[in-house]
Structure 1
Amino acid sequence: MFEANWDLDTLRVFLHILGAAVWMGGQVIVAALVPALRRVGPEATQAAAQQFSRVAWPFFWLAVLTGLWNLLAVEFEDAANSYHITLTIKMVLVIATGVAAWLHTKATDRRRIAMMGSLSGVASIGAVLVGVAL
């Protein structure tokens, strides 16, 4: 029989998933919109990217902070070695998506903008995948 569990753990996990969903999902949506925005004009692409940034970064930090909160709930001495390895991979991917996204915002040439945006997107998808495995 199913029993609903409304407690602080539920809130913590919900906020973590919300942060990751907006960060990763937003990157996928923006990447899909870029070709259409370019047809409108370069200012449209830049305006959309700036607006996305205003929304995405707070959700990135929500995911990071709730991720740290999640770690407080783990009994590390009881966790299997595979858990530690998977967690390390996830942390590397989270750092990679954040750093690549930040570098994407600082880039000035199209090649570097595309490369850092793609790296951030792939790393964020990887972080979500590895997070599900945890």
Structure 2
Amino acid sequence: MTSQTPHSTTSRRLAVSAGLTVAAFAAALGTGSAAQAAPVTLPVGGEALDSALSGPGAGVTDALTNSVLGIAYLKEHQLNPLAGTGTDPLANGVATQIADFKPIGTDLVTGPLADGAALQDLPVIGGLVKALPL
């Protein structure tokens, strides 16, 4: 076996540390150059005129129209994807009756969802959703 002196151990650690620093620096430069933005191409001629005439107002109008259509879809979309299937966990209900009071159960809450209700068909918030101007 060879014995190592403290000087050789220190120089080895210094060399490893310098090598790791150089590798980290090279990796940082490599990812920086890969993340450069693509050059912007500008429209020429008639395309430039059309985009200037439509202006930013057309983009706002399109964004509002498309967002309202998305919300309208959510109002009418079936909330429970398992509704009407044999594996629907919301189709099960538990009920209880205390003394001579009217029986109460979980079917009041889960029943509409088990039947395939949309957001506008729910008992509590359905009226609020229907009132939205969509």
TM-score w.r.t. length of structure 2? 0.29
More helix by share: 1
Higher-Rg structure is 2
TM-score w.r.t. length of structure 1? 0.29
